[in-house]
Amino acid sequence: MKKILVLILFLSACSASMLYAQKFNTPDELNSLRRYQDSLKKLGHQMINNESDVERKNANYTFIRTLVSALRVPNSYAFSFDSLKTLSILRSPDNKFRVFSWFVMNEDGSYRFYGTLQMNTGGKLQLYPLEDYSALLKSPEDSVTDNHKWYGAQYYKIVQVSGPNPYYVLLGWKGHTVKSTKKVIEVLFFKSGQPQFGLPVFTGNKKIRYRVVFEYSRQASMLLRHVPEINSIVFDHLSPPDYKFKTQPETYGPDLTYDGYKLLNGKWQYKDNLDMRNVPAPADVDIVDPKIQAVKDRNSVPRKN
C-alpha cells in the first residue's frame, strides 16, 4: 500500500502543467524519447511476462516512473510510443488528449489496471493519473467517478459523441479472475476541465446505466466493438449454458446472437437481436486477450538450462 500511495502522489505531482514549445520534436527530444521507449519496452515485457508476482509489480513501479519522465520531455505528446505493445495508447478523435492504459496480473490470477490521461493543451503538458478503484466500486453501472476512483480497464477504442454536452465512449478489456473475464463500455467527459467517468446515457435493457459491464467465462471470447456504419456499439449476447447457472456469470458465453446500443440524440438506446450479416468486419473487431498473449510471449522466451 505504501508503494501505491507513493506512486499516486508521484503521478499527481506530475499532473502540474509544464511549459513547452509547440513545434516538432528536436533531435535531442526525439533521441531522449526513443531511449525512454526502449526502457519502457523492456519493463513492459517484465511486468507482463515475469513469473514472479513481486518482480512483475516492481517492474510496473519502475515503468510508471519511467513513463512520467518520458512524458515530461518537451513535445512528448507528438511521440507515438508505437513500439510499446504491452499497453494501449489511444488518441481521442478530436486530438484533445490521449489515454494510456495497461494491467498487471496479480498472483491469484486477478488484475490491477493502471493508466493516465495526457492532455494536448497547446502550450502545457498535463497528466491525470488513473487510479484503479474497481474493488471498492460497489455499483459500477450506477456511478459517476473521477480519475482517482477509476473503473480500470485496458482500452482499445474511443468514440467521440458530439453535441451540447460532448463526451467520449471507451471500450475496454477488464480481465477479472481465473474464472471470468469482464469488458466495459465506459464514458469519459470533462467537467471544469477535470476528467469524470460515467454518465446516464445507456437506456433500455431494464435500467439506465452510467457504464455497461459484461462478465463471462474466462474460456470464452466476447465481441464488443463500435460499428460506425450503423451508429452502434455491438456485442455478443451472453447466456448461461443452463438456466440453473443464471446467477453465475463465470459460466456465461456468447449464444450466437447480437445486441447493441444505438446512438440516438446523444444517448445510447439498447437494441436486441441485431442482424449482423451485412455489417463490415473492421480490423479492430476485438482486443487480443492480454493474458493469453502473455503466455505465448513467455513460452517464446528460451529458458536457461
Q: Is the pLDDT of residue 2 over 50?
A: no
Give residue-wise pLDDT tens across range 272-291.
Answer: 999 877 666 654 444 445 44
Rounded to whole angstroms, the Cα distance separating 220 from 238 reads 10
Residues 6+ away with beta carbon under 8 Å from 233: 159, 169, 171, 185, 224, 225, 226, 227, 260, 261, 268
C-alpha cell at 284: 479492430
Report in angstroms the alpha-carbon separations of 142 from 12, 139, 186, 195, 223: 26, 6, 12, 17, 23
Q: What is the pLDDT of residue 25?
A: 62
CB 286 within 8 A of CB 224: yes
Query: If residue 296 lies in a helix (H) or strand (E), which one and from where to where?
Result: helix 290-300
What are the extents of the domains in the chain? 1-129, 133-305
Q: How confident is the model at residue 152 (pLDDT cuts 50, 70, 90)?
A: very high
How many beta carbons lie within 10 A of that of residue 102, not counting itself?
A: 24
Report the pLDDT averaged over residues 23-45.
89
Predicted pLDDT of residue 123: 64
Confidence of residue 150 (pLDDT cuts 50, 70, 90): very high
Each residue of 141-172: b (16+ CB within 10 Å) or e?
A: beeebbbebbbbbbbbbbbebeeeeebbbbbb
Mean pLDDT of the chain: 86
Q: What is the arithmetic mean of pLDDT over 115-132? A: 90
Chain centroid to CA 294: how far? 17
Mean pLDDT of 9-26: 46
Cell 481465473 locates to 178
